[in-house]
Amino acid sequence: MVSKSLSPRESGAHIVQHAKHVRVLPEGIEKLSKEILDGLQSKRIGVENFSQHELHPNPDDSKPEAYSGAADWVFVLDTLNFCFWTPNNYTKYKVDGYTGYFALCAAIKRAIADGLNVTNAKFYSEIDMKTVEHIFRSDDGETKIPLIQKRLDCLHEVGNSLLKKYDGRFENVIKAADKSAVRLLELIVEEFPCFRDQADFAGKRVSILKRAQILVGDIWSCYRGKGLGFFHDIDQITMFADYRIPQVLVHFGSLQYTPELLEVLKSDTILENGDPMEVEIRGASIYIIEQVRDEVMKSLKENHPEISPDNVNSVVIDQYLWDYRRQYQADLEHIPFHKVLSIYY
pLDDT in tens, 296-314: 999 999 999 888 888 889 9
* Positive or negative torsion for Cα 140, 342, 245, 21: negative
pLDDT given at position 66:
73
AA identity, residue 102: F
Residue 182 lies in a domain: yes
The arithmetic mean of pLDDT across residues 222-228, rounded, is: 92
Residue 345 lies in a domain: no
**Is residue 3 predicted with pLDDT exceeding 60?**
no
pLDDT in tens, 253-304: 999 999 999 999 999 899 999 999 999 999 999 999 999 999 999 999 999 9
Q: What percent of the chain has pLDDT over 90?
A: 81
Residue 87 lies in a domain: yes
pLDDT given at position 320:
92
Number of independent structural domains in the chain: 1
The arithmetic mean of pLDDT across residues 6-35, rounded, is: 97
pLDDT given at position 226:
92
Residue 279 lies in a domain: yes
Residue 3 lies in a domain: no
pLDDT in tens, 147-183: 999 999 999 999 999 999 999 999 999 999 999 999 9
pLDDT given at position 56:
85
AA identity, residue 253: G
The arithmetic mean of pLDDT across residues 24-28, rounded, is: 97
Domain holding 317, by residue range, is 8-340
Confidence bin at 232 (pLDDT 50/70/90): very high
pLDDT given at position 153:
98
User: What is the number of residues in the chain?
Assistant: 345
Residue 200 lies in a domain: yes
The arithmetic mean of pLDDT across residues 38-54, rounded, is: 79
Asked if residue 257 lies in contact with residue 79, where contact means CB atoms within 8 angstroms, the answer is no
Asked if residue 273 lies in contact with residue 340, where contact means CB atoms within 8 angstroms, the answer is yes
95: Cβ contacts below 8 Å, ≥ 6 apart: 103, 104, 106, 107, 110, 136, 137, 138, 139
| Least confident range of 46-55, 79-88, 100-109 | 46-55
Residues noted as catalytic? 242
pLDDT given at position 172:
97
Rg of the chain over Cα atoms, rounded to whole angstroms, equals 19
**Is residue 121 predicted with pLDDT exceeding 80?**
yes
pLDDT given at position 239:
95
Residue 1 lies in a domain: no
Confidence bin at 1 (pLDDT 50/70/90): low
Residue 67 lies in a domain: yes
Q: Where are the beta strands (DSSP E) in 172-291?
A: 198-201, 204-207, 255-257
pLDDT given at position 50:
65
pLDDT given at position 308:
85
Tell me, letter by letter, the H, E, C secondary structure of 169-206: CHHHHHHHCCCCHHHHHHHHHHHCHHHCCEEEECCEEE
**Pairwise CA distance, residues 262 & 290, whole Å:** 24
Q: What are phi and psi of 201, to 5 degrees?
A: -150, 125
| Least confident range of 65-74, 117-126, 196-205, 258-267 | 65-74
pLDDT given at position 52:
58
| Coil vs helix vs strand at 299 | helix
Average pLDDT, whole number, for the chain? 93
